[in-house]
């Protein structure tokens, strides 16, 4: 249990006893400025306002009546009515001793675990994954890891775009070319070329457009030859996705494309019509809700075709009924906010019990603050991004480690490059628009993955030098201020993970890990570990724990560690 929670329980109990009407909130927080103390409570000021009492008097009462745990200093009152708390070194040492026996490293377990379906990544068949997919993929993966760690049952779903109108145009060009074999090596490039050709033809020639529509209709009606082609496209695309997910270390429990819901769509629409939730307007089926927008929400086109919205409604039914979802999280960019408002509103009106949440993130922009394109005007391919990350890491590695053999260099470059990319992507608050630059995404200095990995490597190096065969596990004595700060930071890990998961914002965890790594480097400068026999076991234990927390924290961000750099 974190020091904060330990104190929180006491203060909260005092609050309930004396001010039962106050809405619950965290009454204990870390001090922004440690000169005031380690933790502070603003309870007295809130209670004073609610009951029209003097805040300083209430603060004095709180300080005197509500005693902190053993080993803490007597709380003091300051400012308008803050109560400040300070933990003694021995109490911190005891808490760290408890932490080293805790396999969860202080990460709490939720009291009510839920079945959570995470819908993220969702690339389109027959198209290369591009930068636009990276945030959804990484954010979804990290959140899934954190929620799982907190005790939830998480089902990771990749909702592939495998059934849209693009297949009419693709089939048109592919069949016109005589259905050539799709080579595994350059499958995606080939498919993109066919799509481009079909698209250009259909846009410039109405007759071709009609043909494309007919191709799609034939596919959706189940024509064997076209189904065979479509399956080939899916298979080849899946290989491309698999390659990228493998390099990113991202996995899914269910890969279920839009096509899987094809047969459910008429029922979904009919059901909404029968229950007067949907209505027919200008030949299309729509849903209205002036509270959301003047324009209605379209679930069936006037030509009878279904839409993205219809598929999503069917997917909600599948996920609540078959996957038993208590909660569904959608990780997509901000442009889809309106769509999800409509989707959630419609699902709720139709009786959906699961909690529905849109975890949105800002759009990726180029340096000119316009949506990012590569030089030829197409979106920047994810595969090129990953390769560039590896190349940049390799260049730096060759410089720093000329002794490495080529195989080691390759594997380290791959790990460091992708780690940098992942960390940089998750460092900013997800709600912000994202200005893409190579320099930022693949930086190796400052608040970056290599900085944190270097701290981890330094912990491993010391343990190796100590000749330990197993994790050090001795009582911790804190003799230097740098040790004490480090120890208190270790005890905050659980709070950091819980905050990031509850807020659906991994950047909170990035901030914590950076702070921890920085503090470890400071500790490293002034606290010799192996040289002082009296402190050796205690410090080795602290070093080991720091390594454990760094490793666990990085792994929750989807970043693997390495033993030496």
Partner RNA sequence: GCGCUGUUAGCUCAAUUGGAUAGAGCAUCUGACUUCGGAUCAGAAGGUUAGAGGUUCAAGUCCUCUACGGCGCACCA
Contact set for RNA, span 284-323 (CB under 7 A):
284, 286, 293-296, 298, 301-303, 305, 307-308, 311
What is the size of the binding site for RNA (CB under 7 A)? 105
The nearer residue to RNA, 295 or 348, going by C-beta atoms, is 295
Task: State which of positions 230-289 bind RNA (CB under 7 A).
Answer: 258, 281-284, 286
The nearer residue to RNA, 46 or 105, going by C-beta atoms, is 46
Q: Least distance to RNA from the beta carbon of 184, Å?
A: 25
Interface residue with RNA among 17, 51, 54, 165 (CB under 7 A) is 165
Based on the shown chain and the rule CB under 7 A, indicate whether residue 431 belongs to the binding site for RNA: yes
Piece of the chain touching RNA by CB under 7 A; list 102-110, 137-145, 237-245, 396-404: 396-404
The nearer residue to RNA, 153 or 262, going by C-beta atoms, is 262
Interface residue with RNA among 275, 378, 521, 560 (CB under 7 A) is 521
CA-CA distance, 346 to 271, in Å (whole number)? 12
The nearer residue to RNA, 115 or 164, going by C-beta atoms, is 164
Task: State which of positions 25-84 bind RNA (CB under 7 A).
Answer: 26, 29-33, 35-37, 40, 42, 45-46, 49, 55, 78-82, 84
Q: Least distance to RNA from the beta carbon of 179, Å?
A: 24
Interface residue with RNA among 465, 468, 471, 560 (CB under 7 A) is 465
Q: What is the token pair recorded at 342?
A: 């409509």
Q: What is the token pair recorded at 388?
A: 């560039």
**Long-range pairs for 292-301: beta carbons < 8 A, 24 or more residues apart:** 292/338, 292/341, 292/342, 292/345, 293/338, 293/342, 297/342, 297/346, 299/268, 299/269, 299/272, 299/346, 300/269
> Residue 85 pairs with which residues in a beta bridge?
39
Interface residue with RNA among 114, 433, 474, 479 (CB under 7 A) is 433
Based on the shown chain and the rule CB under 7 A, indicate whether residue 363 belongs to the binding site for RNA: yes
Pair 242, 255: CB distance under 8 Å: no
Based on the shown chain and the rule CB under 7 A, indicate whether residue 546 belongs to the binding site for RNA: no
Q: Least distance to RNA from the beta carbon of 91, Å?
A: 19
**DSSP designation for 259:** G
Interface residue with RNA among 17, 74, 429, 471 (CB under 7 A) is 429
Based on the shown chain and the rule CB under 7 A, indicate whether residue 377 belongs to the binding site for RNA: no
Interface residue with RNA among 357, 499, 537, 555 (CB under 7 A) is 499
Task: State which of positions 110-139 bind RNA (CB under 7 A).
Answer: 124
Q: Least distance to RNA from the beta carbon of 84, Å?
A: 5
CA-CA distance, 374 to 379, in Å (whole number)? 6
Piece of the chain touching RNA by CB under 7 A; list 11-19, 62-70, 88-96, 425-433: 425-433
Q: What is the token pair recorded at 188?
A: 């995606």
Q: Least distance to RNA from the beta carbon of 76, Å?
A: 8
Q: What is the token pair recorded at 480?
A: 């230097």
Query: Is the dihedral angle over the CA atoms 238, 239, 244, 248 positive or is it negative?
Result: positive
The DSSP result for 54-65, as a single string, is: -HHHHHHHHHHH
Q: What is the token pair recorded at 220?
A: 């959706």
Residue 271 to residues 26, 257, 275, 286, Cα–Cα distance (Å): 45, 22, 6, 13
Task: State which of positions 331-360 bind RNA (CB under 7 A).
Answer: 334-339
Based on the shown chain and the rule CB under 7 A, indicate whether residue 444 belongs to the binding site for RNA: yes
Piece of the chain touching RNA by CB under 7 A; list 143-151, 172-180, 181-189, 519-527: 519-527
Residue from 423, 419, 389, 420 nearest 507 by CA: 423
Based on the shown chain and the rule CB under 7 A, indicate whether residue 493 belongs to the binding site for RNA: no
CA-CA distance, 284 to 267, in Å (whole number)? 16
**Long-range pairs for 236-241: beta carbons < 8 A, 24 or more residues apart:** 236/182, 236/184, 236/187, 236/188, 236/191, 237/123, 237/125, 237/126, 237/127, 237/187, 237/188, 237/191, 239/184, 239/187, 240/128, 240/129, 240/187, 240/188, 240/383, 241/123, 241/129
**Rg over CA atoms, the chain:** 28
The residue count of the chain comes to 565
CA-CA distance, 158 to 153, in Å (whole number)? 17
Piece of the chain touching RNA by CB under 7 A; list 146-154, 159-167, 223-231, 261-269: 159-167
Interface residue with RNA among 68, 75, 106, 161 (CB under 7 A) is 161
């Amino acid at each position: 249990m974190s020091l904060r929670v330990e104190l929180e329980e006491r203060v909260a109990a005092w609050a309930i006893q004396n001010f039962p009407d106050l809405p619950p909130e965290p009454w204990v927080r870390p001090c922004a400025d440690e000169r005031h103390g380690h933790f502070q409570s603003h309870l007295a000021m809130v209670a004073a306002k609610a009951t029209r009492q003097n805040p300083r008097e209430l603060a004095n009462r709180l300080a005197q009546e509500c005693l902190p745990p053993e080993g803490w200093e007597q709380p003091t009152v300051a400012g308008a009515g803050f109560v400040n708390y300070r933990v003694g070194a021995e109490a911190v040492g005891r808490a760290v001793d408890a932490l080293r026996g805790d396999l969860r490293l202080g990460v709490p377990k939720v009291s009510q675990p839920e079945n959570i379906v995470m819908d993220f990544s969702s690339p389109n068949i027959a198209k290369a994954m591009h930068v636009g997919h990276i945030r959804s993929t990484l954010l979804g993966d990290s959140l899934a890891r954190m929620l799982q760690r907190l005790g939830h049952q998480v089902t990771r779903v990749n909702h592939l775009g495998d059934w849209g109108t693009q297949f009419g145009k693709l089939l048109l060009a592919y069949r016109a070319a005589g259905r050539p074999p799709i080579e595994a090596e350059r499958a995606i490039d080939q498919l993109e070329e066919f799509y481009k050709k079909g698209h250009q033809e259909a846009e410039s020639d109405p007759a071709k457009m009609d043909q494309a529509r007919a191709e799609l209709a034939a596919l959706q009606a189940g024509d064997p030859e076209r189904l065979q082609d479509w399956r080939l496209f899916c298979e080849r695309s899946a290989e491309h996705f698999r390659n990228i997910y493998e390099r990113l270390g991202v996995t899914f429990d269910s890969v279920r494309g839009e096509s899987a819901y094809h047969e459910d769509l008429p029922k979904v629409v009919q059901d909404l019509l029968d229950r007067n939730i949907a209505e027919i307007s200008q030949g299309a089926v729509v849903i209205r809700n002036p509270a959301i927008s003047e324009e209605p929400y379209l679930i069936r086109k006037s030509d009878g075709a279904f839409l993205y919205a219809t598929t999503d409604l069917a997917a909600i039914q599948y996920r609540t009924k078959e996957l038993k979802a208590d909660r569904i999280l959608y990780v997509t960019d901000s442009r889809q906010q309106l769509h999800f408002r409509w989707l959630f509103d419609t699902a709720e009106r139709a009786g959906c019990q699961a909690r529905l949440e849109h975890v949105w993130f800002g759009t990726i922009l180029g340096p000119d603050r316009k949506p990012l394109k590569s030089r030829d005007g197409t979106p920047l391919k994810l595969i090129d991004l990953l390769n560039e990350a590896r190349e940049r890491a390799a260049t730096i590695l060759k410089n720093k480690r000329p002794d490495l053999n080529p195989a080691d260099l390759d594997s380290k470059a791959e790990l460091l490059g992708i780690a940098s990319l992942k960390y940089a992507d998750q460092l900013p608050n997800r709600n912000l628009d994202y200005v893409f630059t190579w320099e930022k995404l693949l930086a190796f200095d400052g608040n970056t993955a290599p900085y944190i990995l270097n701290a981890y490597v330094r912990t491993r190096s010391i343990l190796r030098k100590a000749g330990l065969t197993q994790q050090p596990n001795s009582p911790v004595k804190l003799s230097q201020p740098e040790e004490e700060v480090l120890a208190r930071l270790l005890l905050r890990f659980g709070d950091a993970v819980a905050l990031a998961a509850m807020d659906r914002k991994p950047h909170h965890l990035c901030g914590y890990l950076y702070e921890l790594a920085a503090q470890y480097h400071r500790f490293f400068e002034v606290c010799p570990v192996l040289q002082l026999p009296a402190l050796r076991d205690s410090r080795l234990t602290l070093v080991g724990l720091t390594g454990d927390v760094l490793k666990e924290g990085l792994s929750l961000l989807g970043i693997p560690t390495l033993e030496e750099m």
